[in-house]
Homo-oligomer: A and B are copies of this chain.
Amino acid sequence: MHIDTLFTPRSVAIVGADNDPSKVGYALMKNALAGGTREVYPVTISEASVLDHVAYPSVNAIPGDVDLVIIAVRADVVPTILRQSAEKGIHTAVVISAGFKEAGEEGAKLEEEMVAVAKEHGITLLGPNCLGVMNTHAEWNGSFAVKAPRKGSIGFISQSGALGTALLDWADREGVGFSKFVSLGNEAQLTETELLEYLRDDEETTAVLLYVEQVRDGARFLELAKQVTSKKPLIVLRAGRSARGSAAVASHTGSLAPADAVFEAALRQVGAIPVDSLRALYSITKLLELGITTPQQTIAIVTNGGGPSVNTADLIETSRSLSLATFNDNTKDALRAVLPPMAAVGNPIDVIGDAGPDRYDGVLSVLETLDDIDAIIALVTPQMMTDPAGIARTVVAHRGAKPILPVFMGGDAVSPGVHALVEAGMVSFDSPSDVVEALDILAAGAQRPSVETPQHETPDDTVALYPFDEMRTLLDDYGVHLEGAFAQTKEDLASAVKKLGDGPYAMKAMGPQLVHKTDLKAVTVNVADVTALETAWDTMTKDIKRHLPDAVIEGMLVQTMAQGVECIVGMKRDPVFGPVIVFGLGGIFVEILKDAAMRIAPVSEDEALEQIREIQGIPLLSGARGSEPMDLRALAHIVSAIAHLALDYPDIAEIDLNPVFATPSGAHVVDARMVRAQ
């Protein structure tokens, strides 16, 4: 891999260079020449020179060494160019050209050919169908983007070129800079994982943004994401969330874990920060530009206007993870000393409408000495006496002591202030909601996922269940014991009941097609004794056969009536991330309210405990209103065991342990089913 060459090439050949400003080959040349001291060689057969640089008819004709080739010619010519580049000793290529996999079957073939050539010659290949690559620290713009970003410390990997250009253009206006930018295009060879690996170790990059539409190797992705987040924040905007929610599911677990929620849970599990909207992504880049890469939770507000600060306080108080700082008497006295009598020294601190820079200066001087404040939101509204530029300079002067988040609200009237901030390498947020949302996402990043289940799941009745005996043995092997005695025939009922002791009993029919037991009347509860069980056996068999004439009934599971808090433990195999382990409360309440928490396997017992504690209804298990706490350790054991089992048996598509009754001394698995992968 020669990824480093993408970002710091010493000499570059641009194949398809052009003097026509409407051509990609022109933009590539212009951008490549815009900074730095490297050699840039245009390659084209149609012109003698491009942008005053001697053009060569092929890469082989270039006199000097070349370590990077950027290719922007017709797709069908690309493999040839790659071969020539290999001959020239070039090991790194950016293929800008479109017309490959995204263009249909023929293009897909061409892409395969191109990848084969790259592989044969050991060429590291970015693209095709991409915007290119940038490294502001080396003044290197290897893209045809309309504008190079400001120098900064955010690394940005995008699976969409258009999203990349839009964000870079926006960021330039707003004063947000980047260290590196990569547009991945079709990912014929390089994918987000290699770039994550690179940016993980890149010292010029202090935070990583990723726009991702597709992850191919979930395990590898998560491994790298985890490595990145151990060093710097990783912000991920995922696309196709709605599409991912609509896959058919065959189990309760499936419906509790739609694919996008799995992705979100997986991201949080490795410490990455998922965001849903471009506005949130925009706002977070501003935090990062201000050097804020770790959670800042206790917030002070200084303002020259009441309304906006009240709204800011509201948003903080109703956020998931932020709170307003409280000031002690010393602090209030110190604030009073720098403010007129009419000012309010609570939080928000209202320096009043006629405040000049001096009052902001006084307040910031007091606040920056306080240990129990994480960050300061500096609100400025354009009032008659307001000097936005002066206040901006004051904010800039106080930079460093404590994170200051400027919110200069308005338009033209405050723009001198915003410009002063941007010139000094800071930024301003348009509205308090933007900064509060960004702070909350950063602080809540590693917290519990919100499971929003889409309504359009299609239950699948045609799945194949594991035979009961096989399933029970398998669960036993992993230390998960399904309660009750199994009767293969009606005659076995007497010995089953003897094993169980006194009733009343519950009885469930088992069989590969008996997916929805309640609907099929395949469950009877509160049965008093053997005689009643035998009668129930006949009734249930008849009922099931009426609904499903060719149903196979393997036998009946007889149990004593269980008590405790009804839970569900399940597994769903995600095509990208593998086994997803779900824990939730059981029963009809939860089918409706969808209260569940997820982890990607493996899950240790300690991790499982953490997972269990994430559900909204945890007070029911941990001892609400003085009730006895349930045995969470026993539940965690089951969760962890199911994760191991799922990793060991890839042919199991889904597992439902439902219900599992949690009691103060143990957890009892009362029903289970496993769906075989098809």
Would you call B589 and A620 a contact (CB within 8 A)? yes
Would you call A280 and B146 a contact (CB within 8 A)? no
Which residues of chain B have C-beta atoms less than 8 A from A169's C-beta?
382, 409-414
Determine whether A204 belongs to the interface, using a CB cutoff of 8 Å to chain B.
Answer: no
A101 to chain B, nearest CB (A): 13
Would you call B305 and A432 a contact (CB within 8 A)? no
Contact with B along A521-545 (1 / 0, CB 8 A): 0000000000000000000000000
A665 to B164, CA, bound (A): 61
Would you call B592 and A310 a contact (CB within 8 A)? no
Given A306-B162, A413-B146, A617-B589, A278-B314 contact (CB < 8 Å): no
Would you call B311 and A278 a contact (CB within 8 A)? yes
User: Chain A interface mostly helix, strand, loop or mixed?
Assistant: helix
Give the number of chain A interface residues (Cβ < 8 Å).
Answer: 89
Taking CB atoms and an 8 Å cut-off, the chain A residues in 148-177 that contact chain B are: 158-166, 169-174
Which residues of chain B have C-beta atoms less than 8 A from A405's C-beta?
none
Closest chain B residue, CB of each to CB of A280: B433
Determine whether A8 belongs to the interface, using a CB cutoff of 8 Å to chain B.
Answer: no
Residue in contact with A519 in the complex, picked from B163, B308, B626, CB distance below 8 Å = B626
Would you call A431 and B384 a contact (CB within 8 A)? no
Given A169-B412, A411-B172, A452-B318 contact (CB < 8 Å): yes
Contact with B along A273-314 (1 / 0, CB 8 A): 000111110100000000000000000000111111011011
Given A279-B430, A411-B172, A211-B452 contact (CB < 8 Å): no
Which residues of chain B have C-beta atoms less than 8 A from A172's C-beta?
411-412
Which residues of chain B have C-beta atoms less than 8 A from A353's C-beta?
161-162
State which of A223-231, A236-244, A396-404 sits at the interface with chain B. Answer: A236-244
Would you call B592 and A213 a contact (CB within 8 A)? no
Would you call B146 and A310 a contact (CB within 8 A)? no
Would you call B146 and A308 a contact (CB within 8 A)? no
Which residues of chain B have C-beta atoms less than 8 A from A103's C-beta?
342
Which residues of chain B have C-beta atoms less than 8 A from A518's C-beta?
625
A-B contact list, 16 entries, CB within 8 Å:
A162-B304, A162-B306, A163-B307, A163-B308, A165-B413, A166-B305, A173-B411, A211-B307, A213-B307, A276-B315, A276-B318, A277-B432, A277-B433, A317-B454, A592-B620, A593-B617
Determine whether A49 belongs to the interface, using a CB cutoff of 8 Å to chain B.
Answer: no
Determine whether A624 belongs to the interface, using a CB cutoff of 8 Å to chain B.
Answer: yes
Taking CB atoms and an 8 Å cut-off, the chain A residues in 181-198 that contact chain B are: none
Closest chain B residue, CB of each to CB of A412: B173
Which residues of chain B have C-beta atoms less than 8 A from A277's C-beta?
311, 315, 431-433, 436-437
Given A163-B308, A239-B311, A305-B166, A412-B147 contact (CB < 8 Å): yes
A326 to chain B, nearest CB (A): 14
Which residues of chain B have C-beta atoms less than 8 A from A513's C-beta?
none
Contact with B along A14-58 (1 / 0, CB 8 A): 000000001010010000000000000000000000000000000
Which residues of chain B have C-beta atoms less than 8 A from A626's C-beta?
519
Which residues of chain B have C-beta atoms less than 8 A from A307's C-beta?
158-164, 211, 213, 239
A305 to B22, CA, bound (A): 18
Determine whether A434 belongs to the interface, using a CB cutoff of 8 Å to chain B.
Answer: yes
Determine whether A616 belongs to the interface, using a CB cutoff of 8 Å to chain B.
Answer: yes
Would you call A282 and B413 a contact (CB within 8 A)? no
Which residues of chain B have C-beta atoms less than 8 A from A589's C-beta?
589, 593, 617, 620
Which residues of chain B have C-beta atoms less than 8 A from A24's C-beta?
384
Would you call A305 and B161 a contact (CB within 8 A)? yes
Taking CB atoms and an 8 Å cut-off, the chain A residues in 415-433 that contact chain B are: 415, 430-433
Determine whether A588 belongs to the interface, using a CB cutoff of 8 Å to chain B.
Answer: yes
Residue in contact with A165 in the complex, picked from B27, B166, B237, B383, CB distance below 8 Å = B383
